[in-house]
Amino acid sequence: MVAIARKADPAPHLGRSRAAASLGRKARRNVSAHGFLIGAVLCFFFFSWYPMYREVIMSFQKTQLGVTSWAGWANYIRIFHDPTFWVAWRNTLEFTVLALIVGYAVPFFVAILLNELRHAKGYLRCLVYLPVMLPPTSALLLFAYFYDPNYGLFNDILHTLHLPTSQWVQSPGTTIPSMAMISVVIAATWMNMGGATLIYLAALQNIPGELYEAAELDGAGLVKKIRHITIPQTRLILSMLLMLQIVATMQMFVEAFILTNGGAGVNNNTLSVVNLIYTYAFALSGASNYDSASALGVVLMLVLAIFSGTYLWLTRDRDHG
């Protein structure tokens, strides 16, 4: 991911000075260099590295009445036996797949469209990215208002068009895909698609125009040009963003949490894995269970590591290519 062009030693002319002096200078340089690093390193230690280690350790421990002891795989076995664990994973995968179908394909085609326009480019780019900047609570409470089955705008539109109305996020169904989850995906896509769109747009501008010219000489139409030039030429960005989006969508929390006031939805049909971690650890009144939450955190970490590992591998590839 990081190609560091190592430069020559910054002070080659020191070679002639006395060894002891050079050693002293080196030591002093190192001290000040570490002094510059220490603040960030401490923050990384306390808030990133140590919690990572702590999560794995805690997932194998149990704490009862303030006494901590080793629990082996008990926490994992317990969460695997919890039916909501499977519901949460099913919902999270459902959200991820739906969010990818909508939130991955739509920005790509929007970007292709925007790239063709000669006017209003700046305006459209700003429009698409504006929702990304909104505080999530503002955007989601607004959507909750639109989704309201009684006085919401969406049902009013459906009603005016003589279409059947919907309960939206409050739909009780648990079939896949459930209306409740589709509603969450719509809101999430509206909020988040700007980032992906602009990244695609930048990638599209890197495609050499000659390729399209050559394809036209071969008589390729619009669809063929997209299939045989645009997509292959942006394949790397497409696959990188795919991994990033999988990692981001599998951490879904705030969307369902605000839209359904707590995230579980009706019959747990919008409960996500992160929400279950939160529920285990903080929301079960009086019975905060950090051990189960940690075990679930480790499981999620392993699943996400597969995708972020693939992402790192893809970006590394790009460096050498």
Q: Binding to other proteins (CB under 8 A): which residues in 41-70?
A: 41, 43-44, 46-52, 54-55, 58
Which one, 176 or 214, has the nearer CB to other proteins?
Answer: 214
Binding-site member from 93, 238, 253, 267 for other proteins (CB under 8 A)? 253
Interaction of residue 37 with other proteins, rule CB under 8 A? yes
CB of 179 to other proteins, least distance (A): 20
197-to-73, 128, 297 alpha-carbon distances in Å? 43, 8, 30
Per CB under 8 A, contacts with other proteins among 192-211 are 195, 198-199, 202-210
Instruction: Mark the segment that binds other proteins (CB under 8 A) among 76-84, 93-101, 162-170, 302-310.
Output: 302-310
Q: Report the residue from 25, 34, 227, 235 that binds other proteins according to the rule CB under 8 A.
A: 34
**34 burial class (0-12, 13-18, 19+ CB within 10 angstroms)?**
exposed
Nearer to other proteins, 65 or 117 (CB): 117
DSSP conformation class of 205: T
Q: Does 177 bind other proteins (CB under 8 A)?
A: no
CA dist., res. 51 & res. 46, Å (int) = 7
Near other proteins in 88-127, by CB under 8 A: 112-120, 123-127
Per CB under 8 A, 21 contacts other proteins: no
Q: 67 with 154: CB under 8 angstroms?
A: no
80 binds other proteins (CB under 8 A): no
The sign of the dihedral angle between the CA atoms of 299, 304, 305, 306 is positive
Bond preceding residue 172 cis, omega within 30 of 0: no
Toward other proteins, which CB reaches closer, 175 or 206? 206
Neighbours of 309 (CB within 10 A): 11
Residue 267, H or E segment: none
